[in-house]
A and B are shown apart, each in its own frame.
Chain A
């Protein structure tokens, strides 16, 4: 092999550090960090800031590791989809073997370190989350059923429950309802995306709801999930971690979410294509804000309680 050949091959394969970071899906990690941090901070048991930081880091790295395993397994369909063909493996910057090694290595490291930093329950929940996302969702459900995102959404719903477990060492109704909030939010959020990214999923032969059941059924189910999501979101406001800020925020946001889902459900595919899926894109954007503001509101009520500024008499019914 000449130097020139070696350089050409090395240039094609040698990844930069940022390419490995990209394997961890940093945008997904941001949401994981935020929701896990809220779950930890709103819990009634205070955690030392250093332990909290270390635990959240472990949860983020664990989530990133499952993202790397997802990219390793899905490299073939990532090459086909416009949204994902720039990822490190399809673009040739990282090999599949490297992604697998990064995914497995960081999975083990994050779970062990969380067990040492916090407690065994939170480590077990993190291990289950990684397994659920990488094996149950990515390897099994994603290519086999249009309900893929419904069941797979559980993986994204665990972080606040893990954060809560770091602080309290247990699982309670508050953490279950935080889980339910993300779990029930996931299908309408991703189906709105799938409606205007349908061609990608058709090309990759991923049986997302619009591909296998059609747009009409998907739109109807978005509305049904919005209706189911609203009471779960409002119920969280009636627990120990709820308060006036969350109650008001949830009321306004859920009214908007149901109204947006209703608008999407009433539209035909032809009308959506005619205006470039404006309502679907708006609903998708709103859904991101919806989840973010729910958790901000939980944090705000926790802050008011910590400062002893929370009004007395807020009903705790659950």
Chain B
């Protein structure tokens, strides 16, 4: 089978799109991680009954 057959082109296209999708997924995970790390007190990061600890709590 020649390597420039329609079948190869189709698979190359499919693999390229899959690669782009996976790359976008990695970028999304990275972006969300950065947001979560830079906003540690954001609502989506807290447990429902979260109460910030105060100095007196450790006594």
Contacts and interface: CB of A to CB of B under 8 A. Distances in A.
Contacts, number: 44
Interface in A87-142: 117-119
A50 B32 contact: yes
B1 A6 contact: yes
Interface residues of B, number: 20
A158 to B, nearest CB: 20
B1 A57 contact: no
B7 A14 contact: yes
A255 interface: no
A11 B6 contact: yes
A14 B1 contact: no
B48 interface: yes
A10 interface: yes
Contact of B14 (A10, A11, A16, A57): A16
B42 A48 contact: yes
B7 A3 contact: no
A33 to B, nearest CB: 15
5 contacts: A11-B6, A14-B11, A16-B13, A50-B32, A57-B28
Interface of B: 1, 5-7, 10-11, 13-14, 17-18, 28, 31-32, 34-35, 39, 42-44, 48
Interface of A: 3, 6-7, 10-11, 14-17, 45, 47-48, 50-51, 53-54, 57, 117-119, 169
